Structure 1
């Protein structure tokens, strides 16, 4: 299966060079939904992969710190057109994927979560129901759905998405990279 998989992570700091040292190609998207969407499209076009594996960090006040969580559903936590009568998280006039994007499970031994993606570093309670937060996943999911490519996404819970999240995130990245590499090698 690894021959048909392209690995996307947001930042080199999330891999701590462990993947490269193990001879694994990582495509880094950069931070945010626009960078993630562009990278996913580019990687799919250039590699012809059938699956994108997204590994990275996420914040959560629901899951335990240092836990690996497979994303079952992505939602947009920063799509807010409520002044025009739409629910928060709904993309108006998008007939294919206006709200949540569901993924098929792959790692059945991991907890599963609903990830709220947004172009902000979340330190509070998102406006949409979700139990972990990131900054790239929904965009990856939407590109993959539109191009009929499978997306598997696993997040290392690096912080509690609270007022110390920025400190915890940086401190926990090496442990997260180690756990994510071990998971990748189990495929």
Structure 2
């Protein structure tokens, strides 16, 4: 099994690249793809860059070049659920593009033209394994639900409220739904796992720089535990 892993920023996947055995690097469309083995699992890891277009280019390229069996988006997010603390984990059961809006012509808010979905479903078995990986780490808690993506850093209460009201989302970031969109079109199972770096509110501009590294480290801990489970055949 080949697992594709995409982060938006280097700090979100740097530790994974450092743990990769027999890494071979290939640059395509300015993106470096690292292919090798992590915890006994064949993986390809890439830094997409921030935003939905960068994420879509990276994920489509990865699929066409490496044909991963599953895709995972890992990184940090702003928490929309009041239950979250900084460093907690959001596991997606579906993803939405919160800035997609053709409602003036009668569509539901968030409807994605072409695939005719608002919520793109994540692979349930993979999401289950992500939650199990969190429990194995032990010092981190998780919540499962909708993760919303858009080309905006959410830092205003009105933005936060709009996304929660429209989609019931538990976290907001800038890439996961774009990767999910590409995976859905290509028939590749995918999952999104995000550590909470801020509250997606008026304090986010202060919280994010302080906590992003800690949150990213938490997400990496979960991914490594997840790869252990995959190596044990739990996704077969």
The answer to whether the superposition gives a TM-score over 0.5 is yes
Q: Is 2:158 the partner of 1:161?
A: no
What is the distance in 2 between the residues matched to 1:71 and 1:8?
15
Could you tell me the TM-score, scaled by structure 1's length? 0.89
Is residue 8–residue 29 contact of structure 1 (8 Å, CA) maintained in 2?
yes
Of 106, 128, 147, 1:85 maps to 106
What is the distance in 2 between the residues matched to 1:155 and 1:77?
17
Of 14, 20, 23, 2:12 maps to 14
The offset of 1:98, in angstroms, is 2.5
What is the distance in 2 between the residues matched to 1:9 and 1:118?
15
Number of equivalences: 182
The offset of 1:97, in angstroms, is 3.8
Larger radius of gyration: 2
Please give the secondary structure, in 2, of the residue aligned with 1:149.
coil
- Output one character per residue of 1:50-82: Cα deviation in whole Å (capped at 9) or x when no partner: 111110111013122210121111111111222
Is residue 116–residue 132 contact of structure 1 (8 Å, CA) maintained in 2?
yes
Structure with a larger share of its residues in strand: 2
The offset of 1:155, in angstroms, is 0.3
Is residue 49–residue 55 contact of structure 2 (8 Å, CA) maintained in 1?
yes
Q: Please, which runs of 5 or more residues in structure 2 have no aligned partner?
A: 22-33, 35-44, 133-141, 228-236
Q: CA RMSD in A?
A: 1.7
The offset of 1:154, in angstroms, is 0.4
Tell me which stretches of 4 or more aligned residues in structure 1 moved more than 6 Å.
Answer: none
Q: Please, which runs of 5 or more residues in structure 1 have no aligned partner?
A: none
Could you tell me the TM-score, scaled by structure 2's length? 0.71
Between 146-155 and 106-115, the greater mean CA deviation after superposition: 106-115
What is the distance in 1 between the residues matched to 2:197 and 2:116?
29
Is residue 12–residue 217 contact of structure 2 (8 Å, CA) maintained in 1?
no
Is residue 116–residue 126 contact of structure 1 (8 Å, CA) maintained in 2?
no
